Amino acid sequence: MAKIIDGKLISKQIKDELKAEVAKLKEEGREICLAVIQVGNDPASSVYVGNKKKACEYIGIKSLAYELPEETTEKELLDIIDKLNNDNTVHGILVQLPVPEHINEEKIINAISPAKDVDGFHPASVGALSIGQKGFVSCTPAGVIQLLKRSDIDITGKDCVVIGRSNIVGKPMGMLLLRENGTVTICHSKTKNLKEICKRADILVAAIGKPKMIDAEYVKEGATVIDVGIHRMENGKLCGDVDFDSVEPVAGAITPVPGGVGPMTIAMLMNNCVEAGRNQN
Ligand code: GUN
């Protein structure tokens, strides 16, 4: 029987710590502010943006919502980002992705000041992570590290296998595990002998995007299994990249879906906002 890593509980603890810090900053007359920009009305994005606003409210962070129409031009969006970059009452800027096709995502990410890049997507933030300098870290992989640390799962010297090499999760996940002294392997769709590599892992992070792909055959007895995937099944229920029922009897610890990694992403976004506020004040 694996220990279930409760992301809902751990994210609540983090949010409550941040709430206390934000209250203290308010007493000193300092208010933290996050600008959230959504272009168009993709339903999934609207849910994510709504959850981010709710988390801000809970913690006491002011949120500015920019709900822009689908037809917004790249120039209009860049002008708003420029204005927010130069507004010293705004500490964090987040452009919900994906942006409509006529807008160049890379240009938008590059336009956000690294000091306000609470998503950790700017090349300066990614570069800082890779050379061990201070900078914002992508929220989902940062959340995974918190799940491990707060569950007393030591990373030092462990064989860590990450499946997935996205800029937002897989690559920064590998860098963070390396920073914590793990021995890191990053696997992807072209990896040969995936099963054998995964089976060596003490800590296995699945960020593949394929429902229930990882079953017990990929998992070493007693391994920690972190599931970053989230998928809606035909029966309406959610599942991850890991086949929970198959893996749970073999693993030493495992994150459920929902209630594992998911809630941590927003908690770490809030953490980055508080850090941005601290740094800029
Ligand atoms: N779209 C899906 N995930 C994210 C995220 O973490 N940040 C932003 N800005 N957009 C997203």
Q: What is the pLDDT of residues 145-192, one digit of tens each?
A: 999 999 999 999 999 999 999 999 999 999 999 999 999 999 999 999
Residue 8's pLDDT band (cuts 50, 70, 90): very high
Average the pLDDT over 29-51 and give the result.
Answer: 97
- The reply to whether 185 falls in a domain is yes
Is 6 a known active-site residue?
A: no
Overall domain count for the chain: 2
Residue 50 belongs to what H/E stretch?
helix 43-59
CATH, residue 195:
3.40.50.720
Find out whether the beta carbon of 139 lies less than 6 Å from any atom of ligand 1.
yes
Determine contact, residues 171/186, Cβ cutoff 8 Å: yes
Cα Rg of the chain (Å, integer): 19
The structure tokens listed for 68 are 């822009």
Average the pLDDT over 8-27 and give the result.
Answer: 98
Please tell me the predicted confidence (pLDDT) of residue 1. 86
Tell whether 64 and 149 lie within a shared domain: no
Tell whether 149 and 106 lie within a shared domain: no
Tell whether 164 and 248 lie within a shared domain: yes
- The reply to whether 280 falls in a domain is no
Each residue's pLDDT tens digit, 219-245: 999 999 999 999 999 999 999 999 999
- The reply to whether 111 falls in a domain is yes
Is 13 a known active-site residue?
A: no
The alpha-helical segments, DSSP class H, found in 137-261 are 139-150, 170-179, 194-199, 244-247
Tell whether 152 and 83 lie within a shared domain: no
Q: What is the distance between the alpha carbons of residues 170 and 262, in angstroms, rounded to a whole number?
A: 15
Determine contact, residues 155/199, Cβ cutoff 8 Å: no
Instruction: Decide: residue 238, CB within 10 A, 0-12 exposed, 13-18 middle, 19+ buried.
Output: middle
Domain span at residue 237 reads 139-262
- The reply to whether 201 falls in a domain is yes
Is 245 a known active-site residue?
A: no
Please tell me the predicted confidence (pLDDT) of residue 46. 97
Please tell me the predicted confidence (pLDDT) of residue 64. 98
Tell whether 85 and 151 lie within a shared domain: no
Q: What is the distance between the alpha carbons of residues 91 and 230, in angstroms, rounded to a whole number?
A: 30
The structure tokens listed for 156 are 């030092």
CATH, residue 63:
3.40.50.10860
Q: What is the distance between the alpha carbons of residues 165 and 46, in angstroms, rounded to a whole number?
A: 26
CA of 266 to the centre of ligand 1 (A): 10
